[in-house]
Structure 1
Amino acid sequence: MTAPADLTVPGYRGLTWDHPRGYNALARAAGGATGLTLEWDRHPLEGFESHPIAELCDRYDLVVLDHPHVGEAVASNCLVPVETLFAEGEIAGWRDAIAGPSLASYHYAGQHWALPLDAATQVMAWRSGSVDTIPTSWEQLPDLAETCKVALNLAGPHAILSFQSICAALGFDAQPLREGFVDRAFGREAFAIMTALTGDATRTTADMNPIAILDAMSSGDGPDLCPLIYGYVNYATRGVEFGDAPSGPDGRIGSILGGTGIGVSRRCKITPALLDHIRWLMSDRVQRGFIPGHDGQPAFRSAWIDPVVNQATGNFFAATLQTLEQATLRPRHDGAIAFQTSASTLLRSALLAGERAEPTLDAIERLYELNHPAGAET
């Protein structure tokens, strides 16, 4: 006979993404949580873009999200501000501890809407032994593509994210409030670089997300090198090496921040036990030990520079930390996901069809204007 459930212990449901990096540490931590029960469901990586955040928050107490959703979340009032859950001193401590702009990426409309458990950005990846001299700048990439299989990651949102990263490397500053999406001079140059790299290797992988490309690379197939792909520590000991993303003419590294944060939905019945569990996940010892020990990719800088963590992960963290520290943010306004999806589809099609820069850039700007509310934060 099954024992009755303890109704005095609060139960929670969370949603994360279906990859060992996104699930294993959270699930293992939930199994050892005290004072609550917590079950984590999973959805595909593309689920971030395919479901409105409000819909997910209606169904789950905790939602793992990426930062382009925060404007949509604020507009739909579906997440609880971090400032109402934790003291300013705790938030300040996390601000000092977390690598790059990962915490800042969830600050919108004057408050934080998630805490980054996972830090990531676009970095360079190559198959071990496949490239004699690893490039460091975008200027070197077209020549390398004549002798090696160099592939851009164009699937899903990644075409427009790569475009933004190249613009950043060239010197475009996307952070201030702006009317348009990107300065046209930087856009032309970035488009020309992407056009030069849309060869056979790029076309072969045009429908592959980062996980699929890294799977192919780790198996000995796929491209020799991807100049921009979201880093996954899980592949750093499986025949794939990682390093900083390429730089522009002034040495600036261009990369668009990824990673994920944990948000608390409005439907959640918040208890001290739940907040203590989140605090535990956001503690230095867990970020440096438990999370990397369970396939995770921590957000704390201390983990990224830890020699033990790096020794166990092919030096993934130390080799790419500079890129993470210099990463820039995606648009986060309400409508950012729709823009990202449409603009990436348009840009990918234009590159694969060999279309000209000006009409493509004009169309991207129209999409930005259509999806960016006047006067809203970016």
Structure 2
Amino acid sequence: MEQKMNSDIRELARVNVKAAMNKEYAENEKLIEEQIIKWTTSRHIKEIVFYLMARNQAIRAFLSLPENEQTIQALHHRTQSPSAEYLKLMRRLRATRYPLFIKEKAERALFKDYTHVDFKRATHFLDQTLPSAPEPNFIIVLLKRVFMLIGKVVELIFSLGWGIVWIGILVLVIVSYITDASSDTLRVKNSRIFSYGGISEGNSTTKLGADTPQIPDVSNKAGYGNPGVSGHDAPSSMKSSTSSTNSSGNETLSATNTENQTESDNSNYKNSKSNFITIGPLKDHLISATYFLPESDENEIFIINDGDIIELPNKEKVVIDFEITSESPPIFKLNNEILESYPTTKENVYWISFEPTDKETTVEVIIGVEIDRFIFNNLN
């Protein structure tokens, strides 16, 4: 729940930042004291109170520093953990998660409200005068506009080009489909030609002779329709012996094919069995973890396990909650460096936060001899 800064306080901050902070601190304390917060109070009121308390905690931490240490970096450095009053209110309202999000947003808003940036993107306090930007060179401005125009033209060409490419792919698919359909029709016609006696001496009833195999006989002639004793081929005695020989040969060939098929099936079955993976019982982990993106609008919570690789759509802060079932103290590492963790109001639950790197960020949790590792990759 992010509140806008009071306009009077903002105008005072342009003149004196510290005076504006003191004024805001007093007004926030007054508003907090006026609210009677109960467990049944509406969520909106609770978020406002947590927001004001978080801003006041950050203001108090900054103003309590020595004069020479009250710098931009000190204001940007957020407090390590919520104050005792903050945690006490969280326990009383049974709130475990959303007050921590509000605290993060309040500290970011405080830094933004009391600072501004110059033309070089350098940050200054609001009461400091920004250095004036040099007047741009006419040639540089002209070149920038020309390059911007060229970029828009190239973008338009690429957008139209991709459209043409997709249209070409669609045309090729349609032509390929039509070609395949015509080829199938031609094959069907050819099969009908052979089936209905399109060649001489075919199996059609209108043919002069059958297409059964014919062998040389006593007539010393061979080929389709030769004038043998049988009328078309060899004598009947020879034909019967030939038929019995062919039938026995066919039976032998059929038996051989059956054995080969059986061996092939057995081989395929063995190969398929070798591809199966036996999964044993899962290991009882001492750690369970969930993560969420506090800067995201959805605020979804995701469960992660040891060895998971998480793809982050944007480079934004990640908050991870760890529930530790062991009595041994956990050690957290971020890219092989010790990372500080913070307890929550829930027992045995710790949380960490970090900004992911450009490539790969590795988070490790060490409890005794067990090491759980989680890898976060930034897609952008």
The interval holding the TM-score normalised by the smaller chain is under 0.3
TM-score, normalised by the number of residues in structure 1: 0.20
